[in-house]
Amino acid sequence: MNPLLYRVQVLDRTCDILECLANNGPELGVSEITSDLGLSKTTVHRLLSALTQREFVQRVPASGKYRLGMKLFELGQKAGNADGLVASAGSYLTRLVSETGETAHLGVLREGQVVCLCAVESPKTSRSPAAIGERTPAHASSLGKCMLAGLSSGELTVALAQLSWERFTPRTMVSEEVLIKELQKVRQQGFAVDDEEFEQGIKCVAAPVRDRSGRVRAALGIAGPRSRLGPQVMQHHAATVVGLSTQSRKIP
């Protein structure tokens, strides 16, 4: 085999193992990884050993299984802060929680999914939990719909092809035609709503975060239980989210 092709194959398989742990964890054994990826146990053992030495993966003594290591967290933090987006947005999320009482999130669009870069949880006992690094399908997310609505027609065509169109609740939009109409509404009103479309009992509202050129770079919003987010409250929170997202244009 061509040495270059071999190195690329090794990198691909290494990334596959990391993504397998991320998507199916928190802990997986060699047999589970082997079964999921269709690789030999020898290959998986060898790559896990290298990843463990570099602290990208950690072996759990009690179970003998593997989980993602802290090195990935460290790199992820640096990646999120690389352009100053997370550091700049933190104060806006804190204000959102203070003014709405609900959990606030900042996310970016990546291959049809919203990746949560930063979050501040509500202090209330009943709240929507926050998970940095969590991915949510864009078609079932208020953050996702904000960012999809900010794409050019060509970019949107590519993004729509990347969506999973999975139905999570009876309210999930799984039709391209329906979603496109929703995105037109988002552009007109300046915010997007997730009305129990990803998880029953949870409602969200988000607005786009634009850079100084006006391009949508991210989205920020709040999420909380349906019991607190009736129509009038949602409208009030939408105005709050839009106001703070407009101020966030100071972000580089």
If one counts every other C-beta atom within 10 angstroms of the C-beta of residue 212, the result is 9
Q: How far is CA 100 from CA 108, 124, 184, 203, in A?
A: 22, 11, 26, 13
Please give the distance of CA 57 from its chain centroid, rounded to a whole number: 21
Q: Does residue 29 sit in helix, strand or coil?
A: coil
pTM for the full predicted model: 0.72
pLDDT digits (tens, 9 = 90+) for 59-100: 988 899 999 887 877 776 666 554 566 667 778 899 999 999
Fill in the DSSP letter of residue 154.
Answer: H
Q: For each of the chain's 252 residues, which pLDDT tens digit applies?
A: 555 565 678 888 999 999 899 888 789 999 999 999 999 999 999 999 999 999 889 998 889 999 988 787 777 666 655 456 666 777 889 999 999 999 999 999 988 999 888 899 999 988 888 888 888 999 999 999 999 999 999 999 999 999 999 999 999 999 999 999 999 999 999 999 999 999 999 999 999 998 878 889 899 999 999 999 999 999 999 999 999 888 765 555
| Backbone φ and ψ of 250, nearest 5° | -70, -15
Closest CA to 229 of 140, 142, 170, 134: 142
How high is the pLDDT of residue 82? Answer: 47
3-state secondary structure 50-89: HHHHCCCEEECCCCCCEEECHHHHHHHHHHHHCCCHHHHH
How high is the pLDDT of residue 169? Answer: 97
Domain annotation for the chain: domains and CATH numbers: 3-69 (1.10.10.10), 83-250 (3.30.450.40)
How high is the pLDDT of residue 95? Answer: 92
